[in-house]
Amino acid sequence: MKLHVNEEFSFKVKTIIKKGIFYTLLLSGFMYGSYKSGKDYCDEHPEYRYEDISNNDYNEEVDEEIEEEIEKEMQESIKEEVKVIEGINETINNNIIKNDERKVVAITFDDGPGSYTDRLLDILKENNVKVTFFVLGKNVLKYPDVVKRAYDEGHEICIHGYSHKYYTDKDPNTGEERGLGIKGTREEIVTTYNILREIDVEPQPYVRPPGGKVTDEIVQNIDYAFFKWSVDTRDWESRNKDKIKEIIYRDIENGSIVLQHDIHECSVDATEEYLPTLTSDYKFVTISELFNELDNDLEICNLYRNAKVKEKQLSY
């Protein structure tokens, strides 16, 4: 069985081990060097043993000579210990698990920020997980500090629009287009982008159309990558954390993009419960990281539902 160690924990463990080994070996070197130098010199010059010196038979030149010998021994000892430590460091680096064979999944949250987003960020931080937020411009205006916190903590900030109006929405009876179209969609995206830049957040060039409704014409004429999802928790419908978890446990796979909403408390509750149970088998990442981990291209003016997994060994 392979142990999965997150990068932050691995770094802390390595740092503690290295410092412990360094100071232990350095102290040992000092003590041994001092003892050996003093003993060897006294063996060669019995007239300068402690009992003779205590009888005022003290020679300052000899004392300086002893100090020089001790210093030389210490320097040589330190050089040897440094070589040992370098070897140990190399062994540690080689043995820390680098091949993480967990499946990779991107969790995404739409419609926020909201009143539960701060708590969600606490949960993500506790589990050392990064996610992607598709935010609404109107809600960023309400919770600018929350968005800035998410961005500063390494989460990916992307655009869901400003008002949550559909980019395309045809009347089921007449077929008449009631959506925003290319012009209206572009205006919503640009407005939200400018709001985010006002709080020093640089969003990724990724858009999730509200309701997943978008046309090929819109995708091909706006310089953003568009994202739907492959796992729909339907948290907005069930409002039940257990049903949300059931869908995630059942449907996620390597390369999945999961849809949740941080404006619903039930979805935050579900996240708090499923993350610790899945991190041994799944590595949760942002959308950018998902495509990078699976060595897949991510291009603008394209629509994605997931990151198609190539047949290859995952090695990070």
Which residue is catalytic, options 155, 160, 261, 264? 261
110 is catalytic: yes
CA angle 50, 51, 52 (to 5 degrees): 90
- Residue by residue, DSSP assigns the chain as -PPP--HHHHHHHHHHHHHHHHHHHHHHHHHHHHHHHHHHHHHH-GGGSHHHHTTT---HHHHHHHHHHHHHHHHHHHHHHHHHHHHHHHHHHHHS------EEEEEEEES---TTHHHHHHHHHHTT---EEEEEHHHHHH-HHHHHHHHHTT-EEEEEESS---S--B-TTT--B-S-HHHHHHHHHHHHHHHHHHTT----SEE--GGG---HHHHHHSSSEEE--SEE--HHHH--HHHHHHHHHHH--TT-EEEEETT-HHHHHHHHHHHHHHTTTEEEE-HHHHHHHTT----SS-EESS-PPPSS----
Which residue is catalytic, options 110, 111, 235, 269? 110
45 is catalytic: no
Residue 52 amino acid letter: D
Beta bridge partners of 232: 259
Active site members: 110, 261
